[in-house]
Amino acid sequence: MRSRDLWERYRAWLFDAPGLGIRLDVSRMGLPADLLRAMDEPVARALDAMEALEAGAVANPGENRRVGHYWLRAPELAPAPEIADAIRRTEAKVLHFSARVREGRVRPPGADRFERLLVIGIGGSALGPQFLADALGGPAGPMTPHFLDNTDPDGIDRALASLGGELVRTLAIVISKSGGTPETRNGMLETDAAYRRVGLDLARHAVAVTGEGSALDRLAAERGFLERFPMWDWVGGRTSATSAVGLLPSALLGIDARGILAGAAEMDGLTRSRQAAKNPAMLLALSWHHTGGGRGDRDMVVLPYKDRLALLGRYLQQLVMESLGKGADLDGREVRQGIAVYGNKGSTDQHAYVQQLREGVPNFFVTFVEVLRDREGESLEVEPGATSGDYLGGFLLGTRRALHEAGRPSLTLTLPDVSPRTVGALIALFERAVGFYASMVRVNAYDQPGVEAGKKAAAAVLDLQRRIHAALRARGPAGGTAEELAEAAGAPDEAETAFHLLERLAANPDRGVDRDPGASPFDAVYRLRS
């Protein structure tokens, strides 16, 4: 296609939001001219479903729940006054508490103020705060953020070590809706032990963000945590960034939480348009649907050309894949839906996988994210007439052109800057696009049966480990092979799992399991250390 034709196509398909300064270009996604007309019925269905969702209909039938993350930035839309009041009270409480911490009016015993923030969570309860902190925080903030987002013992040690011996000045936020999420519970217990080792009480350094009446809520009340903030069952973890989950850490870090909400609310307004061409979230959803044949046949490669947006790919990975990766549609019929998401930052990827993107398997589309503002203040000219930012922009436009020449589809989001308002708008844009796409392919975007299945399987593995321990005790000095111990544990079909469990136990001296090697790994004999 000639450059002039591309320009005309760009003009025809560009969505521009002057108020936000955000633009969406889908002109290089290969969309046919009659797409909007051809998709009129599924578009109308998706818009109707979204209107019903915002009005309070049960939008998560698998769990019989309403879905209300849009109410977080527009409480007046909530279907009941008590919900609207709870949202407003929580926002005010987040801002008030954060201000008191930053001002030193809420302080730790033994220090004049909190200077470090440790967020303990998993999934959306960690990714949302991490993304916001990385995008909008900075070294000049009132607190330094740290994150504990896994149950990896070495990772826990590294996270706690990163605090640099400053537990006395560290405020911990424990985030878990149920209060029973194993990764978060384990992180809290490990952190509690770390505080106790230096003579401190975690409760005097901690707040909880959790469901009212949850196990964590009860624990926080019993131990006297500094504060508790609610998580509601109508807000899923992956859409919780504009709840206390994301707003509390942001506000503590000195980030304008109200700006995040304002940007999200403004984007929400734009994405309620019933005209698909004037609805950026619908344009995104239609682009995904068209390029992937409505089956997710192409992966989404996220390339933000801005270091502050380096975590956008990880954030979208959970939002998109957990929402759309479903094995059954709303009628219970078997489907295989989803869009795989991966990515890193540009121009780093000029030297990584762009080679394959241009010349390898054409099973993807690229989401470029362009940020117009280079930095605060003046930029050095690294050569006459060109700054580092000019090079960054050149790499983006050059890669975009090179991919188009190779027949690789791409879309481009242009932001004026990375600010609370634009990041809030970005979050809202993708939340709505995911909801629209889910309606088009008729899946429930708001449940996660696969995640729950994984949790149940993990619980079964831990139960087997307990039975393996009992078998080791029963067999005494003789011990046994993995196969023998699985048999003794009443799980002869779980010999492979028993093997993995025993190998890990034997690799950790503190677990008290010795391993005598045999002729092959499967002949090894395990026994409890006497």
| C-beta separation of 409 from 363 below 8 A | no
Given 93, 278, 404, 455, the catalytic residue: 455
Q: What are phi and psi of 335, to 5 degrees?
A: -140, 170
| C-beta separation of 48 from 211 below 8 A | no
CA distances (Å), 430 to each of 230, 271, 278, 297, 480, in order?
24, 10, 15, 19, 53
Q: What span, in angstroms and rounded, lies between the C-alpha atoms of 77 and 72?
A: 9
Residue from 414, 431, 174, 434 nearest 309 by CA: 414
Q: Is 93 a catalytic residue?
A: no
Q: What span, in angstroms and rounded, lies between the C-alpha atoms of 430 and 413?
A: 11
Burial of 197 (0-12, 13-18, 19+ CB in 10 A): exposed
Given 54, 183, 322, 431, the catalytic residue: 322
Q: What span, in angstroms and rounded, lies between the C-alpha atoms of 468 and 461?
A: 10
Q: Is 494 a catalytic residue?
A: no
**Sheet strands (E) in 121-180:** 144-148, 170-176
Q: What span, in angstroms and rounded, lies between the C-alpha atoms of 67 and 49?
A: 12
The gap between the terminal CA atoms of the chain, to the nearest Å, is 76
Q: What span, in angstroms and rounded, lies between the C-alpha atoms of 420 and 69?
A: 18
CA distances (Å), 207 to each of 223, 378, 473, in order?
11, 40, 41
Q: Calculate Rg over the CA atoms of the chain.
A: 26
Given 351, 376, 378, 383, the catalytic residue: 351
Q: Is 351 a catalytic residue?
A: yes
Measured at the alpha carbon of residue 466, what is the angle toward residues 460 and 470, in degrees to the nearest 5?
140
b/e map 257-285, b = 16+ CB within 10 Å = bbbbbbbbbbbbebbeeeebeebbbbbbb
3-class secondary structure, 426: helix
| C-beta separation of 434 from 319 below 8 A | yes
Q: What are phi and psi of 364, to 5 degrees?
A: -155, 170
Q: What are phi and psi of 187, to 5 degrees?
A: -60, -40
User: What residues are labeled active site?
Assistant: 322, 351, 455
